[in-house]
Amino acid sequence: MRRALLFALTLLSLPALAVELKPFSASYTADWKQLPVSGSAERSLEALDNGVWKLNFEASMLVASLTEQSTLRVDKEVFLPQTYLYERNGLGKGKKIEYDFDWSAKQVIGSDRDTPVRLPLNRGLLDKSTYQLALQYDVAAGTKSMSYQVVDGDEVETYDFRVLGEETVRTKAGLIDAIKVERVRDPTQSSRKTILWFAKDWDFLLVRLHQVEKDGKEYQIMLKDGTVDGKAVAGRQD
């Protein structure tokens, strides 16, 4: 259960594209098939000064809390992370990760649970928050298969995704037409399954996430309400 809780908290914290970022905010509920527990999360994107954007995620679940924050720029349709912060408390031992993306020195410098991190930095390298924004906008651009290089601890990992098709999602904001996307994993390495739904008519905002763990435990994260570019998300009504 602990692993499922951590994964749910991390994912929400759930971007060849013409990138025109729009501010958004979204609230989510989380439910577990096997357990009578629920949680909540808030995710937002806002413009700061000088072309910098802040992607923020905060979640609470049982006695756990998580904060994940990235700052980024977009240059010639490429996401350029600037800083990354991840803090988790309440589920066993706490965890803190910090990265600075130094584009002049072409290095990622930071720490992961007090372990120093130093990695070479090239265009296309993303953090664990910014890649989700990249996925959102690649799906919006009609891309069917996506691959991202992501800083993961003191290494760079490849995260692969593919589009499965279209589906209507029933949310508290109404019926929302969405693009269904699957995380692609090597079945010989992991039996975990992750599926995400992005709203077609709302700048491809994440509206649903379904996760199956190795032990068969399932949980779901669903949009409660949100705004995109100042406009309230509203789906169709039955």
The CATH number given to whatever domain includes residue 157 is: 2.40.360
Q: For the CA atoms of 185, 198, 86, 63, what is the dihedral angle to 10 degrees?
A: -100
Is 59 domain-assigned?
A: yes
Q: Which residue range(s) make up the domain with 106?
A: 2-232
pLDDT tens digits for range 42-96: 999 999 999 999 999 888 777 678 899 999 999 988 999 999 999 988 766 788 9
Q: How many domains does the chain have?
A: 1
Is 238 domain-assigned?
A: no
Q: For the CA atoms of 168, 8, 224, 169, what is the dihedral angle to 10 degrees?
A: 0
Selection from 142, 137, 145, 139 nearest residue 15 by Cα: 137
Is 56 domain-assigned?
A: yes
- Is 43:28 a contact under the CB 8 Å cutoff? yes
Is 237 domain-assigned?
A: no
- Integer-rounded Cα radius of gyration of the chain: 17
* pTM for the predicted model, two decimal places: 0.85
- Is 139:163 a contact under the CB 8 Å cutoff? yes
The amino acid present at 228, given as its one-letter code, is V
Is 207 domain-assigned?
A: yes
pLDDT tens digits for range 105-139: 999 999 998 899 999 999 999 999 999 999 999 99
Is 84 domain-assigned?
A: yes
The amino acid present at 16, given as its one-letter code, is A
Is 75 domain-assigned?
A: yes
